[in-house]
Structure 1
Amino acid sequence: MVKTGKKSFSDFIKEHSIILGILLLALILRCYDLFSIPYTHDELSGLLRTRFGSFHELIAKGVKVDGHPAFVQVFLYYWTGLFGTSEWIVKLPFIFSGVGGVYFAYKIGKRWSNVTVGLIVAAIIATSQYPLMYSQIARPYTSGFFFTLWFAYHWGEIVFFKNYARKHLIWFPVAAALCAYNHHFSMLTAGLIGLFGIIYTSRDFLRNYLVLCLAAIILYSPHFTILAAQLKMGGLSGWLGKPEPAFLSHYIYYIFQFSTIVIILYSGIIVWTRISGINVKRNSKAILFSGILFFTVFFTGYFYSIYVAPVLQPSVLIFAYPFLLLFLFGWAKEQDKKTNLILVSAIILLNCFVLVFQRKHYSVFYKTPFKQLVLDVADLYKEPGFAIIFSDEPKTRFYEERGDLWIPGPEQCKFITVPEFTEKDLEALLDQLSGRYDQIYLGATSSLPPSYRTIILETYPHIIWQKNYFSASTLLVSKGKPSEKPIADITKNKNLFNGYNPGKWYDGGYHFEKDEEWGPGYSKELSKLVKRPSDLVDVVVKLKLSDPKQEPLLVLTIQSGDSTIVFQGTPASRHTINQKDSTVTLVQSIKFIDLKYQKLENPTLNTFIWNRDKNPLQILSFRVIYRKDNPLTYGLYEPIVE
């Protein structure tokens, strides 16, 4: 029989069976269908910044230009150089670091409180989508998650338990420095832990503690010049907005998988384990510190984002996330092994059910838009057609260069970017294509303005199919009968338009006389209009101008009480004016998923023509179209409502 110390191997397995089962499950969930896990936008961006001929060039062009410290970028540079860029091989170290984080969360929970706390926290981290997903992404989140817990474990041994074993004294500065090299928020988290250590450490060890902190700073010092360059970049205001007051409550709902049942289970566990079980001595100071640490990290990021530059998003809180769990569950009394097994089983079963069937992790996360946008083109060429793709072209070309897929040439496919490719450009392209092709393919990430899709559907109104992915959709459209009927059409149901004057409709249009500024419009309360938060509304108006230089505006607003929440205006000059008959088609679109209308007081959609020039004008058609859109647009970070 194989012996491990004084206990046999079988005894070791039996004694630690629950945590070993949790770790095995954590690995299985993260490695499920390993060869199909795709790259995300951030991963492709990172990989494209490893294509340099020297380390110096990597730092200058691949690290300093980015907002992240050097560790992950340098690691990817050498790792892909050795093993290539296959998704599974690139992600594997990050998957293992995620499982390692589960282990250290268990060790900290057990050491700072008791074995029940360690098992509960480990089970939650092992099976929740938030830490699981970031374990499958080769970016500095799960690595920092591991480094932070690794550092916190050795720090806790020194500070809370006065355990000055050599391994703790060595790994303390090493792990702290790796946190700093990994991500600015893992550096912040480790830095705060270090600062709190000055308060918590025993007075007779304080000088040695400060030496350990100094050693960590010295290990990080080669990165000072990179840090200085990156700090000049500011925040992420180019694409990330300031956090809303409800950010924290939304974050907590997010980390609990947007599941009320999960929250009820966790609440029940917190209450039950607080009043029932075995009283063993816990380090209450350490559990309280865990809560202080999480909220200090959160509020630092929150107020920095409000008053300096936006940086706060769920991904950067993952380094402090385990400490929130330790704070919530760390007050539990220790339970017997049978009860621990029941608690862990309940957490695992419910979390896995929510992960697979409600969050749909393995279907939503496992489809990358940059690859799918091209893969779906294959359905187009069963008949003659043309593909329009709105995407970050280098990220899509990455797969072509690697030999994974074929991208049609410019005679069959066009990549577009906005605002470089304007609505006028699209109208001109469609004018050329409409005489040659009966069907068009549109593949677009969610950042494409919805009006572009509306313009395409004016020429090709029949949707043959639409495929939805996280942050992207693909459509095959053709000429023929429109797939959606207007909910309001001034030529058919004039009574739905407020301000409509029957006497002004003649000769096939609604007439604005000279000096007339306002005409008919459409209004609808969103509570009566919106069926699903992921849907959208298109407004399409065809005008006949009395002067090609006229600038009437198609306006769409969202009104809440006396406040205008949204104001969108499309001038005639943004679109192509037919020089033969002076007609122009204006479009407006609004995605409700971007509006967060549920928080508004009785919001109302209004749309109308603003005849700013007050010159004669005709409305030839005025249609409001309600369309079902992509429920998975934000499906990894928001509830999925289909």
Structure 2
Amino acid sequence: MKFDKYINELILGLIVVVAAYLRFYNYAELSISGDEVSVLHRLQFNTLKEVVDLGVRPDGHPAGVQVLMYFWTKVFGITEASIRFPFVISGIFVVVFSYLIPAYSFNKTVGLYCAATMCFLQFPLIYSQIARPYSPGLLFTLMSAWFWHLLLFRPNTRLVWKVVGYTLTTTLAIYMHYFSFFQVIVIGLTGFIFLNKRNYKGYVISAFFIFILFLPHFDISLGHLRLGGLREAGWLGSPSQEDNWFLRYIFFLFNNSYSVLAVLFSILFISLYHIRKKIALTKHHAIYLVWFILPFVVGYTYSVFVNPVLQRSVLIFSFPFLIFLVFSFVKDTSRSSPKLIMTIGLLVFGVVNTVYSQSFYQTNFFGVLKEIVQKSIDSVERYGGQNITMTVNVGHPHFINYYLDRYDKQIDFIPFRTDSYHLKYVNYGRQDLMKMIDIVDAAKTEYFSYCWSSGYSPSEIPEIIQDKYPCILQRTYYFNSEYYLFGRETTNVCVNNDQVFLLLNDFDKEETEWTKSGVGRMDSSGLNGSFGYQFTSEIEFGPTLEMKVKDLFNATDNLIHTSLWVNLENKQTDAIMVITLESPSKVYEWRGMNLSYFIKNEGEWAKCYHSWRFKHIRSKEDLIKVYVWNVGRESFVIDNFQVKVNEGNPIIFGKEDHSL
């Protein structure tokens, strides 16, 4: 039957149709991300040379996506749908090559299982819907691997086309991202192991032309290295700071789902059982294992000892080879019905898991800009722009202006600085907190709006605002973004502040919860003539609150807020407010805030703030300590030392288990 003859192609066609639907669905409605806006912002030059010199060279990423977007947006514009379209198409073709490679290396049934899995997994799906280098980088990496197979193991026919295909796809992967660059270099170097008299000419010719085609970019890449080494982002920390990084990454690959892991690895173990008497490891098992694991090992080592570059997204170029390995022992079958039922069953299970169990289309994976701009516009239209002090914390004004221009609206956000247009809406915290304090102090409106996205927002800022605007009228949490609207008057419409713990030490009496609290207590020295705590040259560490995590927090996403009033004779004091998280063996998180950041005038009382969200709490039995460290052994007075714990944004870093 013709149906049987073309069963593999028919099933693959169905998988591709599903992949296209999943990737196109809602892709134009998703908020543009900060990274996408950054790409568009770096296109605002008159010539391609200016784009490269002023947009690519300072950025630290290869020029491929920037050059593509330069020409693409000139024709199709800068809407979400238009800029993402080529990346969605790349994501669809990734599924095709996820079939071709394992179908050649193992068998066509393996290829179908791999294509179905790549169709529904969240990881490739996420990056197929965003205009970033990952989707085309993955496509060209897989295409390079496909032509690599043809050039080395089928060199006798259509050699010129194979040389051209391998040369172009490898070069394009090099131009997309430095990790896709590294991936195809690993693939290319592996090929030298398999050279023989039949294939070496085509392979060497391809290597030569790849080198020639990379030469225009050589100076750019050298410049990126001169910036201080390749780095993915300044905010990125070393993976050694996170326990079980690799295991967490593997879990992420499989939708953070035990059921997906169970199904896929059941297929692996059942396949191994059926061929238990004649299990044969081929060269492709070794090759794909190296191609999967080596980028992680090199990225991890580089991140720990040089610059942090390792995050999950950059390993997208190597992860398909793990999928190939998982299904590599599946036996091929010529019978149409079992193949159709098993493949479609896997596809349906995976789609249901991604779309419904993981709520893929109801989840933000990047900081939102559309939503916070819409919230800001709604607040202005409801309460009147003259009645709201508007503030925003984003990496560049273009982040906000993209949607304000689209909606033909104007909002006068108060800048944090006037000496730099690019950084006018950036507040880094620490010294910059004083800029927010000044804005709040100067505000005369009934309402105060604050929102942030796609970066870092100091946790102290809502606390600073609430000193003058205690009512939270609106608070909306998103992934890596938040929106707040505050009011002066506390009424029954105020949002619950979700307070978990509160303790104030006003030093009017000795507090049993605080150690060293009585040493410096002094009458008439505090705020408003009350008791205060007098630091002297004899006191290095002042009153200390020491409690177990379980007694302070009810979840790992809680925020700890500390504040105190201080009276200093020296504005340049070295005194620090400290928050630590300690296991029985060591302090594994230490955060300090200099009191000098908040001092306007010597000899006057000033309120200081220090807040923190712990990145990883190892045990609920660990200790949290809060204290003042008098580094320079100076004389000064503190009062009203407060520690408060609030529930935090539970989705700021995505869907996670926050239980203690």
TM-score normalized by structure 1? 0.88
Amino acid in structure 1 at the alignment position of 2:515: N
Amino acid in structure 1 at the alignment position of 2:458: P
Change (3 A) 1:556 1:296: closer
1:596 alignment partner in structure 2: 616
> 1:278: how far off?
12
The answer to whether residue 188 in structure 2 is matched with residue 194 in structure 1 is yes
> 1:576: how far off?
4.4
> 1:397: how far off?
4.1
Of 645, 652, 656, the residue aligned with 1:626 is: 645
After TM superposition, the structure 1 = structure 2 runs for residues 294-305 of structure 1, keeping only pairs within 5 Å, are 294-305=292-303
After TM superposition, the structure 1 = structure 2 runs for residues 341-352 of structure 1, keeping only pairs within 5 Å, are 341-352=340-351
Q: Does the aligned pair in 2 maintain the 1:386–1:412 contact within 8 Å?
A: no
Q: Does the aligned pair in 1 maintain the 2:510–2:518 contact within 8 Å?
A: no
> 1:110: how far off?
1.2
Question: Which whole-Å CA distance do the structure 2 matches of 1:493 and 1:351 have between them?
Answer: 60
Q: Does the aligned pair in 2 maintain the 1:243–1:312 contact within 8 Å?
A: yes
Question: Which whole-Å CA distance do the structure 1 matches of 2:309 and 2:535 have between them?
Answer: 52
1:483 alignment partner in structure 2: 497
1:231 alignment partner in structure 2: 225
2:493 alignment partner in structure 1: none
> 1:222: how far off?
3.0
After TM superposition, the structure 1 = structure 2 runs for residues 502-581 of structure 1, keeping only pairs within 5 Å, are 504=521, 508-512=530-534, 517=539, 518-543=541-566, 552-576=575-599
Of 406, 411, 424, the residue aligned with 1:408 is: 411
Change (3 A) 1:56 1:554: closer
Aligned length: 627
Amino acid in structure 1 at the alignment position of 2:583: S
1:3 alignment partner in structure 2: none
> 1:460: how far off?
1.9
The 3-state SS of whatever aligns with 1:538 is: strand
Cα distance per residue 1:112-165 (max 9 Å; x no partner): 111221122111111111101111111221111111111211221232345533
Cα distance per residue 1:29-63 (max 9 Å; x no partner): 11112320232222111111112212222222222
Moved over 6 A (4+): 10-13, 277-283, 411-414, 546-551, 613-616
The 3-state SS of whatever aligns with 2:69 is: helix
Gaps of 5+ in 1: 1-6
Question: Which whole-Å CA distance do the structure 1 matches of 2:221 and 2:569 have between them?
Answer: 60
> 1:443: how far off?
0.2
Change (3 A) 1:15 1:180: closer
Question: Which whole-Å CA distance do the structure 1 matches of 2:275 and 2:281 have between them?
Answer: 17
The 3-state SS of whatever aligns with 2:474 is: strand
The answer to whether residue 627 in structure 2 is matched with residue 608 in structure 1 is yes
Gaps of 5+ in 2: 418-423, 491-495, 525-529
Change (3 A) 1:186 1:164: farther
1:333 alignment partner in structure 2: 331
1:427 alignment partner in structure 2: 437
Q: CA RMSD in A?
A: 3.3
> 1:468: how far off?
1.1
Change (3 A) 1:427 1:546: same
Change (3 A) 1:151 1:502: closer
1:4 alignment partner in structure 2: none
Question: Which whole-Å CA distance do the structure 2 matches of 1:277 and 1:342 have between them?
Answer: 21
Question: Which whole-Å CA distance do the structure 2 matches of 1:278 and 1:521 have between them?
Answer: 63
2:420 alignment partner in structure 1: none
The answer to whether residue 66 in structure 2 is matched with residue 73 in structure 1 is yes
- Identity rate of aligned residues, in percent? 25
Of 444, 452, 471, the residue aligned with 1:444 is: 452
After TM superposition, the structure 1 = structure 2 runs for residues 310-325 of structure 1, keeping only pairs within 5 Å, are 310-325=308-323
Q: Does the aligned pair in 1 maintain the 2:103–2:109 contact within 8 Å?
A: yes
Which is further off, 408-417 or 153-162? Answer: 408-417
The 3-state SS of whatever aligns with 2:392 is: strand
1:472 alignment partner in structure 2: 481
Cα distance per residue 1:585-627 (max 9 Å; x no partner): 22111102xx2122x6943111123456767765542322111
Q: Does the aligned pair in 2 maintain the 1:125–1:131 contact within 8 Å?
A: yes
Of 506, 514, 535, the residue aligned with 1:497 is: 514
Question: Which whole-Å CA distance do the structure 2 matches of 1:230 and 1:548 have between them?
Answer: 40
1:289 alignment partner in structure 2: 287
Which is further off, 285-294 or 74-83? Answer: 285-294
The answer to whether residue 247 in structure 2 is matched with residue 249 in structure 1 is yes
Q: Does the aligned pair in 1 maintain the 2:520–2:535 contact within 8 Å?
A: no
Question: Which whole-Å CA distance do the structure 2 matches of 1:503 and 1:295 have between them?
Answer: 57
TM-score normalized by structure 2? 0.86
The 3-state SS of whatever aligns with 1:216 is: helix
Question: Which whole-Å CA distance do the structure 2 matches of 1:216 and 1:163 have between them?
Answer: 21
Q: Does the aligned pair in 1 maintain the 2:101–2:111 contact within 8 Å?
A: yes
